[in-house]
Amino acid sequence: MSEAQTTASAVDPAEKRSVRDLVRAAVSGWLGTALEFMDYQLYSLAAALVFADLFFSSENPAVAVVAAMATYGVGYVARPVGAFFFARLGDKTGRTKVLFYTILLMGLATTLIGFLPTYDQVGVLAPILLVLLRIAQGFGAGAEISGAGVMLAEYAPAKRRGIIASLVALGTNCGTLLASGIWAILLVAYSEQEVIAWAWRIPFIGSAIIMLFAIWVRFNLKETPVFEERDDVVDGKALSREETIQLATETGDVRTLEAMERKPWKAFSIALLLRFGQAGNSGMIQTYLISYITVVLLLDRSIGVNAVIVSSLVAFITVPLSGWLGDRFGRKRMYMIWAVVALIVIVPTMLMISSGVTLQVFIGYVVLHNLAVMSFASLENLTLPELFGARNRYTFTAMAREIAAIVATGAGPVIAAAWVSAATGSFIPIIIMLFIFTLSALIASIWMPEVAGRDLTDPRDAI
């Protein structure tokens, strides 16, 4: 165990916030994450179901699907830039101020997608406008879920961080469920021609309601007690590196001086691999598999959407259970267990999905999604902030999440679509990619130290 692996301080900073403050922070984090993943799922389902018809030439359907997935992926190019910009600002001026701006930018971009003209109306300008809004959406979203995870980790009592921070993952689940439910209703209420003609716009425009409510909740939200207790924060703003070193030297603050000398590459590499595993599986299962079920297996469009809904309902058990187990047995042990179990189920669940039998598709998808995506997501939202010291926690958490996402979630569905097409519809490429992503999480969990119960005011990284 590293020297930085300290337990929570004798006086938990969380005790300086009332239950009401904690509830408001939890609702704020949950709403923001729900909106982000509602946007994410609205877009991913639209990319899988209708965007190939709406925004790209219909001369080659297979190419149109790959182009739709690429447009989905381009948003991930903007996420690391937004993560770096907003997260650094969050480490300097506070988490809650930044989270107000991220949700505003993210929500506006999503709403405007619902007003875009199509390829038939304006030609190549349609995908260009779609890409621009997707970039704006990604720029705002880049620091949203990381900030929500950091905020809740720094608000929550040390012994209950896992279960409370799992609300962030529940936000992803609620957003996914809401978006999938809306799409399911559209596919039932309207004909395919009506959905493609105009009904697809409804969920994007309607997302503005959640955005406005989330902005209202975040207005005047108190800053996290951990940020306020940082030694390098004066009058609500962080001191520069030089000023921090000078202050630490004058006060004999050994922890801060040690933190300034350490390189963050070990903690960052672990966070990167953990995120690569979860994000890669998420992109493959929540995005590409829906397209695979519809385009390759030629099943009804509603089957993939309904499978997502059922799986999201099951995740209301998986997510808090995983968070509670992380509190009870530690993050490291639970990461290892979930990764091994996920590796075991990949082949049998993909065999069930590829069978084309509706019940088997549902069971295979639900099991694979919950074990390879949602169990990791619950632990990830807390483990990544706990890996880093107080001074750069938001920045390193956000950058690890988004760098991994641009490679895994952004490129994964595009590679899968092209590889499966080249393999004439075989599901073997999907299995190989799921194995690679899950193994990265297992390797990271073996390498990482135990971080449960760390003193989050500690400026040093956990390793």
β-partners of residue 454 are: 7
Decide which of 226 and 5 is more confident. 226
Burial class (CB in 10 A: 0-12, 13-18, 19+), 421: middle
Decide which of 305 and 206 is more confident. 206
Question: For the CA atoms of 55, 57, 60, 66, what is the dihedral angle to 10 degrees?
Answer: -30
Tokens 């505003």 -> residue: 104
Helix axes 375-387, 265-282, angle to 10 degrees: 160
Once rounded to an integer, what is the mean pLDDT over residues 5-34? 72
Are residues 439 and 433 in contact, defined by beta-carbon separation less than 8 angstroms? no
Residue 360's pLDDT band, with cuts at 50, 70 and 90, is very high
**Angle CA 31–37–39, to nearest 5:** 100
Residue 9 has pLDDT above 70, yes or no: no
Once rounded to an integer, what is the mean pLDDT over residues 296-305? 83
**pLDDT 10s digits, 111-130:** 999 999 988 888 778 888 88
Decide which of 38 and 66 is more confident. 38
Question: How many angstroms separate the CA atoms of 299 and 86, rounded?
Answer: 42
Tokens of 458: 């500690």
How confident is the model at residue 5, as a pLDDT?
Answer: 43
Residue 77's pLDDT band, with cuts at 50, 70 and 90, is confident
Burial class (CB in 10 A: 0-12, 13-18, 19+), 415: middle
Mean of per-residue pLDDT scores for the chain: 86
Q: Which residues of 329-342 are buried (b: 16+ CB within 10 A; e: fewer)?
A: ebbbebbbbbbeeb
Once rounded to an integer, what is the mean pLDDT over residues 161-175? 83
How confident is the model at residue 2, as a pLDDT?
Answer: 42
Tokens of 376: 């990791």
Residue 445 has pLDDT above 90, yes or no: yes
Phi, psi of 234 (to 5 degrees): -130, 125
How confident is the model at residue 68, as a pLDDT?
Answer: 67
| Lowest-confidence segment of 182-186, 250-254, 428-432 by average pLDDT | 182-186
Are residues 382 and 149 in contact, defined by beta-carbon separation less than 8 angstroms? yes
Provide the sign of the torsion angle of the four alpha carbons 282, 288, 289, 291, taken in this order. Answer: positive
Question: How many angstroms separate the CA atoms of 144 and 85, rounded?
Answer: 12
Are residues 173 and 319 in contact, defined by beta-carbon separation less than 8 angstroms? yes
Q: Which residues of 264-285 are buried (b: 16+ CB within 10 A; e: fewer)?
A: bebbbebbbbbbbbbbbbbbbb
3-state secondary structure of 346: helix
Tokens of 360: 């088997």
How confident is the model at residue 441, as a pLDDT?
Answer: 96
Highest-pLDDT range among 70-74, 104-108, 231-235 = 104-108
Domain-wise residue ranges, the chain: 19-231+262-447
How confident is the model at residue 6, as a pLDDT?
Answer: 47
How confident is the model at residue 364, as a pLDDT?
Answer: 95
Residue 11 has pLDDT above 50, yes or no: yes
How confident is the model at residue 135, as a pLDDT?
Answer: 87
Residue 240 has pLDDT above 60, yes or no: yes
How confident is the model at residue 320, as a pLDDT?
Answer: 92
Once rounded to an integer, what is the mean pLDDT over residues 446-453? 94
Residue 63 has pLDDT above 80, yes or no: no
How confident is the model at residue 58, as a pLDDT?
Answer: 59
Q: pTM here?
A: 0.83
How confident is the model at residue 373, as a pLDDT?
Answer: 94
CATH of 19-231+262-447, one of 3.40.50.300, 3.40.50.880, 1.20.1250.20, 2.40.40.20: 1.20.1250.20
How confident is the model at residue 268, as a pLDDT?
Answer: 96
Residue 235's pLDDT band, with cuts at 50, 70 and 90, is confident
First to last CA, the chain: 8
Once rounded to an integer, what is the mean pLDDT over residues 348-363? 92
Tokens 């042990």 -> residue: 333
Residue 184's pLDDT band, with cuts at 50, 70 and 90, is confident
DSSP code, position 240: P
Residue 328 has pLDDT above 70, yes or no: yes
| Lowest-confidence segment of 71-80, 118-127, 258-267, 383-392 by average pLDDT | 71-80
**pLDDT 10s digits, 386-426:** 999 999 999 999 999 988 988 887 778 888 888 888 888 78
Q: Rounded to whole angstroms, what are the CA distances from 153 to 20, 235, 289, 363, 388?
A: 16, 22, 32, 33, 12
Decide which of 448 and 23 is more confident. 448
DSSP code, position 124: T
Tokens 């903007």 -> residue: 78
How confident is the model at residue 69, as a pLDDT?
Answer: 64
